[in-house]
Amino acid sequence: MTMVNSTPTRAAIEKITPYSPGKPIEEVARELGLDPASIIKLASNENPLGPSPLALEAVHAHFNDIRLYPDSDGYELRHALAPHLGVAPELIATGRGSDEVMHFLATAYLQEGDEVVMGDPPFSMYEISTLLMGATPVKVPLKDYGHDLEAMLAAVTPRTKLLYIANPHNPTGVMNTREAMDAFMAAVPEHVLVVLDEAYFEYVTRDDYPNALDYLQAGRNVIVLRTFSKIYALAGLRVGYGFTMRPEIIRAISQVREPFNVANLAQWAAIASLQDPEQVLRSRTVNEEGKAFLYAACERLGLPYVPTQTNFMLIDVRQPCRDVFARLLREGVIVRTGDIFGYPTIIRVTIGLPEENARFIATLERVLTAMV
């Protein structure tokens, strides 16, 4: 077949490696001929308990609204979030997941020649959204699986526009302490917009976790990102947000935001979720119990792991992670390989329900025994 010269794409996008998501259950079932009901997915840091019943009720109650465009400005959602966050509704921007807010920031602020400082490995959307605009990701190696804030400061130049800190970080689950973040925030130059990504905020249990509101109230050039995809278990509806105390950031976002970006059912479900703090507590408890179980299992199996402040963890399986991943997959257990993050013998596993964690460990043990 002769190749036809198709329309050339922008040079900037040639540098982008497409996002590599956790494998969906249906895909694994199709590829391996497994019963979807027999598969467990511990790959995308979803909440195994599912959403609040109030969110499900809200979706049912508003079902007929899907013929209508959503409220483009997310008025009700921003007003529900405001008291929860301690900022005015006008200082909140909603997105189709917090991923979309990252895209807004990239589109609003970045052009060729600009630099974006991030950890290495970063959460991949930081890099993708930066490259998309033809800007340069400046990747600063993590230290002990956490952000090396001093090295990140040293990487700032006059060209730095954005600086991303995921706290806690994905893919490692490690957080930066209040003391470290306070020192960082005191030193970061004003021309840098710090993006504090707190996607796993509600899972954190350590009491030396920084309070982002302190930085906002101190007038720092910061936007905080959070999401309904994780503890609120609305990943499939795609809703996240950013909040700040700098109106100019919200104005910039509104200049690049598509109208109607967050679906109406997503908005209603998110609002209802905020009225159910019990669901958050339950989810956190299940996560803490699962974490303790997985830590103990790793210690019994002699597998090093990275202690986590999120709903996922890294485990060093001491074997090529792709092989372990493939063998787990054949047994219906989906995890993520660490090689894409630069960790060739590590897997990343989402903390599941007790029975899922037990099945994961039993399967891992079988797989590793077969490999020696």
Ligand X SMILES: Cc1ncc(COP(=O)(O)O)c(C=O)c1O
CB atoms within 10 A of CB 240: 26
Among the residue ranges 9-17, 29-37, 53-61, 95-103, the one whose residues contact ligand X (CB under 6 A): 95-103
Token pair for 224: 């905080």
Establish if 199 lies at the interface with ligand X (CB under 6 A): yes
Establish if 173 lies at the interface with ligand X (CB under 6 A): no
Task: Name the residue with the smallest CB distance to ligand X.
Answer: 97
- Residue 138, phi then psi, degrees to nearest 5: -110, 105
Q: Nearest approach, Cβ of 305 to ligand X (angstroms)?
A: 18
**CB closer to ligand X, 189 vs 236:** 236
**CB closer to ligand X, 47 vs 363:** 47
Token pair for 70: 């959503």
Establish if 242 lies at the interface with ligand X (CB under 6 A): no
The distance from CA 135 to its chain's CA centroid, rounded to whole angstroms, is: 22
Token pair for 240: 């996240």
Establish if 227 lies at the interface with ligand X (CB under 6 A): yes
SS3 per residue for 195-220: EEECCCHHHCCCCCCCCHHHHHHCCC
Establish if 240 lies at the interface with ligand X (CB under 6 A): yes
Non-local CB neighbours of 100 within 8 Å, separated by 6+ positions: 238, 240, 261
Token pair for 254: 């509104």
CA distance 22 to 35: 18
Q: What is the largest CA-CA distance in the chain?
A: 63
Among residues 115, 127, 148, 197, which is the contact residue for ligand X, using CB under 6 A?
197
Non-local CB neighbours of 301 within 8 Å, separated by 6+ positions: 361, 364, 365, 368
Among residues 123, 145, 203, 209, which is the contact residue for ligand X, using CB under 6 A?
123
Among the residue ranges 28-36, 92-100, 149-157, 244-252, the one whose residues contact ligand X (CB under 6 A): 92-100
Among residues 94, 136, 160, 170, which is the contact residue for ligand X, using CB under 6 A?
170
Establish if 93 lies at the interface with ligand X (CB under 6 A): no
Residue of 178, 164, 236 lying closest to 209 (CA atoms): 178
For ligand X, the binding residues in 34-73 under the rule CB under 6 A are: 45
Establish if 340 lies at the interface with ligand X (CB under 6 A): no
Interface residues with ligand X (CB under 6 A) are 45, 97-99, 123, 166, 170, 197, 199, 227, 229, 235, 240
